Amino acid sequence: MITLNNQTTNGQRGLKSRLAGKLAIAALLAAAQPAFAEAEKAVPKQLASVGSVKIDNLSIAKAPPSDIKRFYVVDPGHFNVTSQTFVMDANNNKLKLHGMIDGGKLPHVMTSSTGKYVGIANTTYDRIAHGKRDDYVRLHDAQTLEPAVDVDIPEIRFLTGLIERFAAFSTDDKHMLVQQFSPSSGVGLVDLEKKKYVKTMEIPDCYHIFPTAKQNFFMHCRDGSLLQVAYDDQGNTKQKNTKVFHAENEYLHNNPYYSNSAGRLVWPTYEGKIFQAKLSDSGADFLKPIEIFSDKEKKEKWAPGGWQPVAMHRERNEIYLLADKRAKWTHKTASRFVVVADATTGKRLRRIDMKHSIDSIAVTQDKNPTLIAASIENKSVYTFDAVNGKQLASMDEMGKAPQIIVTMDK
């Protein structure tokens, strides 16, 4: 009995047959050597190798430190049970993709005040789309994208589309606040320093979370007022309502602009009326509402539309509103234009034709601001000079449905 390459045969005839086969294979390999060599040379040096190409120099890159041009694009994949967040920047009038962060169903994504962390409030299931639900919050390092803090929380997250302000960092990054809808209205308090869930704070029927200094936050209530909530480290609260600032039939878009650092709230109605407030631990200072569209434009059916329809550049005191001519109740459909107005007077400053169907916009807060736009239909992200409206860059194949843009607050 003879063993050849772990195969066993009885007799000389089997051995000769196998040796002949081995010689034939060797001849084929020898003939193919030049082709293999040329293929190896053709492989770009920056790529890891497969097969005959060496992989000795593989390394995992870091993203550059987060700066004012850093932003994140959340792709929920049309309400899939898994999601992805693209890590990008718009420096030097270009678009760069630094990596992706995986998430669960309809995540809430936010940046810390220092830019060091990306916070994500997540929901997953142990049988993919079924089974036991698990809610948790996680902080990712903004350069390595690796998890830095992971805290399990009760299964309380409000899963309803992508409403950006249903979870938020406190202004000092010490806590994360998470909206609860069922079995009752509330806000979950997560201590990020101690890496633990503190408690669910009982809240009346109010929504959105707008943090201010000294462990305060505001929420929007059904009667048209804001609720101010002050809380301590144990989750004990003091609560009071502001005045009613809008009428019942003045319907607000569910993704307003808000700045944690400045306490500036900009909130458009379906028709383009803009409510504004300056929020602080001292209370809410409501500014005079402004109208973005003239009576003539309203007759022409100009109105805001999109998932994330409003942005602001605070230093320039400019409001950016995603808009188009549209039928009533189409306030979630995409728009082609951005209307820019003075935030104090409402005076029209300019209109930007983006020449694409855009669902969401955001503006960077630097001296030379970039207007960022996301298109679900085109699966693309575009950038524009926010002042002259010129398109600067674009990137396609951005997942399944790039929907929410998260920019640095300062």
The candidate with the shortest Cα–Cα distance to 165, out of 219, 242, 214, 202, is 219
Q: What span, in angstroms and rounded, lies between the C-alpha atoms of 210 and 276? A: 13
Give all strands of the β-sheet with 186-191 in edge-to-edge order.
167-169, 175-180, 186-191, 196-202
* Per-residue confidence band for 108, with pLDDT thresholds at 50, 70 and 90: very high
Q: What span, in angstroms and rounded, lies between the C-alpha atoms of 139 and 115? A: 11
Contact call for residues 200 and 190 (beta carbons, < 8 A): no
Q: Taking 50 as the threshold, does the pLDDT of residue 186 lie above it?
A: yes
Please report the pLDDT score of residue 322 as a whole number: 98
Q: What span, in angstroms and rounded, lies between the C-alpha atoms of 255 and 277? A: 15
How much is the average pLDDT of 150-177?
Answer: 94
Looking at per-residue pLDDT, the higher value among 160 and 128 belongs to 128
**390: its two tokens:** 């010129």
Reported as a single tens digit per residue, the pLDDT across 299-350 is: 999 999 999 999 999 999 999 999 999 999 999 999 999 999 999 999 999 9
Please report the pLDDT score of residue 61 as a whole number: 85
Please report the pLDDT score of residue 59 as a whole number: 75
**27: its two tokens:** 């001849």
**271: its two tokens:** 């028709």
Contact call for residues 260 and 113 (beta carbons, < 8 A): yes
Reported as a single tens digit per residue, the pLDDT across 356-385 is: 999 999 999 999 999 999 999 999 999 999
Reported as a single tens digit per residue, the pLDDT across 115-154 is: 999 999 999 999 999 999 999 999 999 999 999 999 999 9
pTM assigned to the model: 0.86
Q: Taking 60 as the threshold, does the pLDDT of residue 51 lie above it?
A: no
Task: Round the average pLDDT of the chain to a whole number and report it.
Answer: 89
Rg (CA), the chain: 27
Q: What span, in angstroms and rounded, lies between the C-alpha atoms of 91 and 68? A: 9
Please report the pLDDT score of residue 160 as a whole number: 82
Please report the pLDDT score of residue 243 as a whole number: 97
Please report the pLDDT score of residue 306 as a whole number: 97
Q: Taking 60 as the threshold, does the pLDDT of residue 14 lie above it?
A: no
How much is the average pLDDT of 151-171?
Answer: 93
Reported as a single tens digit per residue, the pLDDT across 198-255 is: 999 999 999 999 999 999 999 999 999 999 999 999 999 999 999 999 999 999 999 9
Strands 310-313 and 318-325: antiparallel
Looking at per-residue pLDDT, the higher value among 4 and 148 belongs to 148
- Calculated CA dihedral for residues 406, 76, 178, 129, nearest 10 degrees: -160
How much is the average pLDDT of 382-403?
Answer: 97
Contact call for residues 382 and 44 (beta carbons, < 8 A): no
